[in-house]
Amino acid sequence: MNVPRSAFVAGGTGSIGEGIVKFLLQAGYQVFVPVRATDKSSRLQEFVRGVGPGVLELVSGDLADPASVSACRSEVQKKAPKLDLVVVSVGSSLYGHSLHQTAMADWNRLIVENLATHFLMIREFLNVLYEQNHGTFVTLTGPEADFVQAETGLVSVVAAAQKMMARVAAQEASGSGVRVYSVTSKNPVATRQRGEQNEPDWLSASDLGRYVWALAENRVKHPERALHELHTLKDLEKELV
């Protein structure tokens, strides 16, 4: 019997995450998405209605809360005999503040939403992959990790730390059956939310889903690289095998 492949997409209700979820459903995956708000889950369900052959499974989870992430992991493990792919597309932004004018509350919020969430995904869900000695763990990292722009500095600080977390986790996974990657679109990502502001040469959320799928299926030219940075669709297609 053919066991369907399964994925956990943290941030699957977000503007990039929903495109990844859709691509994986089209590729036949059983896709688990943690949700913390009903309106966001219905929005995602609406977006992927009728999309298959994969199946969407919503599980409750606040990814900033250790107990909730742990309960979420148990719920997923009850439903899926094994996880092939874990995707982390989680975080929030802060614009319009110089570092020296950033409120402590905003600092704390970004550290929790953009770093503690990623760390908890490593603690709980990367561990699932280690227990199986199998699976792919992919973090979506914003391009701000590598550039400085006035008044968006805190976003760069946490993106750079996310990227380093992925690099450390990738090195620690070497020699095991687990692979860890960070994927970045160097341009902004075309999403439903941006609508008419999307530019034709930007990668879409679904294109990123295709690349994440290719990493999980070992269909990229350089599976040994931890960092995957993409510019355009042409560029992405050159990286696939």
CA atoms within 13 A on the CB side of 189: 27
**Residue 151 burial (CB < 10 Å; 0-12/13-18/19+)?**
middle
Task: Report how many residues bind ligand NAP under the rule CB under 6 A.
Answer: 27
20 Cβ contact list (under 8 Å, min separation 6) = 9, 12, 87, 89, 140, 205, 206, 208, 209, 212
Binding to ligand NAP (CB under 6 A) within 27-46 occurs at 34, 36-37, 40
Question: Per CB under 6 A, does 66 bind ligand NAP?
Answer: no
Q: For ligand NAP, which is the closer residue by CB, 107 or 132?
A: 107
Question: Per CB under 6 A, does 64 bind ligand NAP?
Answer: yes
For ligand NAP, which residue of 8, 20, 91, 170 counts as binding (CB under 6 A)? Answer: 91
Instruction: State how far the Cα of 138 lies from the Cα of 55, in Å rounded to an integer.
Output: 20
For ligand NAP, which residue of 6, 30, 136, 141 counts as binding (CB under 6 A)? Answer: 141
For ligand NAP, which residue of 5, 7, 17, 211 counts as binding (CB under 6 A)? Answer: 17
Specify whether the backbone of 168 is left (phi greater than 0), alpha (psi in -120 to 50) or beta: alpha
**Residue 130 burial (CB < 10 Å; 0-12/13-18/19+)?**
middle
Mark residues 152-191: x for contact with ligand NAP by CB under 6 A, - for none.
Answer: --------------------------------xx--xx--
- Report which of 175, 174, 169, 178 is spatially closest to residue 123, judged by C-alpha positions: 169
Question: Per CB under 6 A, does 16 bind ligand NAP?
Answer: yes
| Residues 92/114, Cβ–Cβ less than 8 Å | yes
Q: Which residue is nearest to ligand NAP (CB)?
A: 14
Span from 11-19, 21-29, 45-53, 74-82 in contact with ligand NAP (CB under 6 A): 11-19
Question: Per CB under 6 A, does 19 bind ligand NAP?
Answer: no
Query: How many Å separate Cα 58 from the centre of its chain?
Result: 16
Residues at the interface with ligand NAP (CB under 6 A): 11, 13-17, 34, 36-37, 40, 62-64, 89-92, 113, 117, 140-143, 184-185, 188-189
